[in-house]
Structure 1
Amino acid sequence: MAKPLSRRHFLRRTVAAAMLALPMVATAKKSPPKASKASVHYQDHPKGRAMCGRCRFFLPAVGHSNGMMMQGIKTNGTLAIGHCTKVAGRIAPTGYCILYTPRVHSE
């Protein structure tokens, strides 16, 4: 029959396992680098109706969305610069790049 583990031995094994798993957790949280504006042909004006404010990757400035379909518009009607999950730097809601993907609205 197997000898039961002592509390001390159990704790040592638990700490060792946690130490081995730590590097895997740290590397899993790193996100891939964002693309440069030049590499995605970013422009600060829309291409027809396609614009960053309507893209699924656009993140409007916090507190500046009025909850309407067009994200990134302040309630006073001025445009708020936001960010993109794919492109580095500040992004205008009226901008456009080749990564544009329209938001999917559930209705």
Structure 2
Amino acid sequence: MQRNKHGDPARRGFLKFAATVPGIAAALPFLLRAGEAVAQKMSKKAAKYQPNPKDGQRCDNCQFWIPPEGDGPGGCKVVEGEIAPEAWCVLYAPKG
């Protein structure tokens, strides 16, 4: 039987490794959520936000647009604050 450098059979080492994979997989969503919580949005000034569209580009056609809930304002995944649907910024990325 083949042995690894620690003297355990290679199969036993593999099984120990394989046993840790489900634990890592289970923790992954929590680690990803923690990363999202740390991420910060860019200020309107830094994004060069303007209340008017530019060359037909509008926030409500951007992949980062967050539609309003009810009568509330819209939002953005990457720019902070209330976002007007007809506004524009340098981070505009068409939905696709």
TM-score range, shorter chain: 0.5 to 0.7
Q: Where does residue 57 of structure 2 map in the other structure?
A: 50
User: Within 1, Cα distance between the matches of 2:60 and 2:44?
Assistant: 16
Shift of 1:63: 4.3
Q: Higher helix share goes to which structure?
A: 2
- Does 2:94 align with 1:87? no
Q: Does 1:41 align with 2:48?
A: yes
Mapped partners of 1:41, 1:29: distance in 2: 23
- Among all aligned residue pairs of Structure 1 and Structure 2, give the percentage whose two residues are the same amino acid: 35
Residues 1-107 of structure 1 mapped to structure 2, 5 A cutoff: 25=31, 27-63=34-70, 81-104=73-96
Distance, in Å, in 2 between the alignment partners of 1:100 and 1:39 is: 13
* One-letter amino acid of the counterpart of residue 39, structure 2: P
Aligned Cα root-mean-square deviation (Å): 2.3
* CA-CA distance at 1:27 after TM superposition: 3.2
Aligned residues: 68
Q: How far did residue 28 of structure 1 move?
A: 3.8
Normalising by structure 1, we get a TM-score of 0.55
* In structure 2, distance between residues paired with 1:56 and 1:102: 6
Moved over 6 A (4+): none
Note the residue ranges of structure 1 that are not aligned, 5 or more in a row: 1-16, 65-79
